[in-house]
Structure 1
Amino acid sequence: MRSLSRDILPLAVAGGLIAVAVIAPVRAADKAAGLKPATAQTINIGYVNGVAFYTAQEDGYHVVATLSVAGGAPIRVAATLQPEQAVSFSVPGAADTAPSVVQIARRGDSLTVTNPPPRLVLN
């Protein structure tokens, strides 16, 4: 009789690690390729959060972003992007600091969402 912890568990862990090693590069390639149609992408601009998605239409990529501040009333912004066009949203920073900017850009048939790096806020 095989011992679960000595014989079977190490095989299960090894199988899980192999699956992660195969799936992780595929998922990373999906993210690098850009946003897929009708798939939401999270947006974080300082204290403003939301989601964005797009659909491919005959007249361009219809981008919709829904943003809100700490659960407040959301606002929806829509734009139609042609190849090599972009739209951006920004939140002002403190005095003498740059604003936080999210850019949604269409490069050929690919759409990317660039979130700003998180800021450390000390009060």
Structure 2
Amino acid sequence: MTRLFAEFAFAGLVWTGTSAAAELAPGNGHSVHLAAFDGVVYYTVEQDGYRVVATLASGSDALPLRIASTLAPGQHLTISVPGSAGQPSIDFEILRDGDALVVSDAIPAAVVDLVDVTPTRGALGK
């Protein structure tokens, strides 16, 4: 993915008014808010790629959750919190675009139309 394409993809989120994106520098943290979870994302430059670490917690008394991944250019990581029944999840994406690491703000995932796939009598030929 080229840097220009990534900028257009995240610009699309900004144009909708639902999200923005931040480009991180190595070692600098970026605050994230994901439904009931708050946390921080940072990365370090390693020999195998950018080691991305996201730490999230749902309150001061809750044990934090840490997610770590090493991203090569063009790779991304999505962190998601499921919504209530019938509601979309809340997601944020971390994208390695060349030498840049871009973090999107949390947004509701696209709502998927649920289709009842229960076969009817006619569908079974009975």
The interval holding the TM-score normalised by the smaller chain is 0.5 to 0.7
More helix by share: 1
Stretches of 4+ aligned residues off by more than 6 angstroms:
none
* Equivalent residue pairs, number: 88
RMSD in angstroms over aligned alpha carbons? Answer: 1.9
- 8 Å CA contact 2:57, 2:64 repeated in 1: yes
Partner in structure 2 of residue 51 of structure 1? 40
With structure 1 as the length reference, what TM-score do the two structures score? 0.66
- 8 Å CA contact 1:33, 1:110 repeated in 2: no
**1:41 and 1:73 mapped to 2: Cα distance?**
20
Partner in structure 1 of residue 92 of structure 2? 102
- Aligned-residue sequence identity (percent) comes to 40
**2:25 and 2:79 mapped to 1: Cα distance?**
20
1:83 aligns with 2:73: yes
Instruction: Give the structure, 1 or 2, with the largest relative contact order (CA under 8 Å, sep 6 or more).
Output: 2
Show structure 2 runs of 5+ residues with no match: 1-19, 109-126
Show structure 1 runs of 5+ residues with no match: 1-30, 119-123
1:38 aligns with 2:27: yes
**1:96 and 1:32 mapped to 2: Cα distance?**
27
With structure 2 as the length reference, what TM-score do the two structures score? 0.64
